[in-house]
Chain A
């Protein structure tokens, strides 16, 4: 791909239901710096994700990883594959807490290939799992796919 292009190598005819796309995006072990980098980028400065005394007062042993970080990694796996300009919907649901030191793997599957409003579309189901294989975030995304 040439820089500046939003074209993707994925084409409608080659994409099939059940397609699992590229290798999972593996991220971690998650550091406190990763958390702070996300919080600075997003503007969500909830202290429970970086302030150790605050996290302990809330009953946790360590700062809880901000959920939008694994959610963002999950979306990145899909948009890196199907093209950032092609995403039309992303929904995520948090299932388990994520802690500093966790190693996450993000992947997904095409569950539906269809036409809607004169566009070729695919729906994906995605999952971000930790090093124990436990799903920590589930995701559902919709993309348009170029001809």
Chain B
């Protein structure tokens, strides 16, 4: 069951280093051999690469556990990445902050109540500029 008290909870800011080898690994795992990922000395990240915050957020960086969504019934419904300019390149050190932005219910076509949760992560570069934002939407059927 989703814990509504998680709404607005923000994780501790954490750092994420954008690494060339991880970019290569992610590009290949998602079917790309584009030289902008594999041959560039300082490649840009693939469009969905910022999901690799999993490796950096630690225990207190992600507020997601507070949501207590079922691991077996919960599902990823939508995902969005916004880039304010070119996607970050290898060698960039990002500061990331995640927050539970929205929790709401919708009725399914069959009359079940679905609980949606949206978590937003903001990515800032070394100068403090907001370079990217991620929005993850997950749903738990009632």
Contacts and interface: CB of A to CB of B under 8 A. Distances in A.
Partners in one complex: yes
B48 A72 contact: yes
Nearest to A104: B31
Contacts of A20: none
B46 interface: yes
A87 B54 contact: no
B54 A43 contact: yes
B30 A87 contact: no
Contacts of B79: 68, 71, 91-92
A84 B83 contact: no
Interface in B71-90: 71-73, 75-83, 85-87
Contact of A42 (B36, B39, B51): B51
A111 to B, nearest CB: 17
Contacts of B53: 43
Contact of B34 (A2, A73, A80): A80
Interface residues of B, number: 41
B21 to A, nearest CB: 10
Nearest to B24: A41
Contacts of A68: 48, 51, 76, 79
A25 B43 CA distance: 22
A48 B72 contact: yes
A79 B34 contact: yes
Contacts of B85: 88
A6 B52 contact: no
A45 to B, nearest CB: 8
Contacts of A72: 26, 29-31, 46-48
Given A46-B71, A68-B79, A84 B43 contact: yes
A11 interface: no
**Considering the complex of A and B, which 3 residue pairs feature the smallest CB-CB distances, nearest first?**
A43-B54, A72-B30, A3-B39
29 contacts: A6-B40, A6-B44, A25-B31, A38-B29, A38-B30, A41-B30, A48-B71, A67-B76, A68-B51, A69-B29, A72-B26, A72-B31, A72-B47, A72-B48, A73-B31, A75-B47, A76-B27, A76-B31, A80-B32, A84-B46, A85-B44, A85-B87, A88-B82, A89-B80, A89-B82, A89-B83, A90-B80, A92-B80, A93-B77
Interface of A: 1-6, 25, 27, 34, 37-38, 40-48, 57-59, 67-69, 71-73, 75-76, 78-80, 83-94, 141
Given A25-B31, A47-B71, A72-B46, 15 more contacts: A5-B40, A42-B51, A43-B54, A43-B55, A48-B71, A48-B72, A67-B76, A75-B30, A79-B34, A84-B37, A84-B47, A85-B44, A87-B83, A94-B76, A94-B78
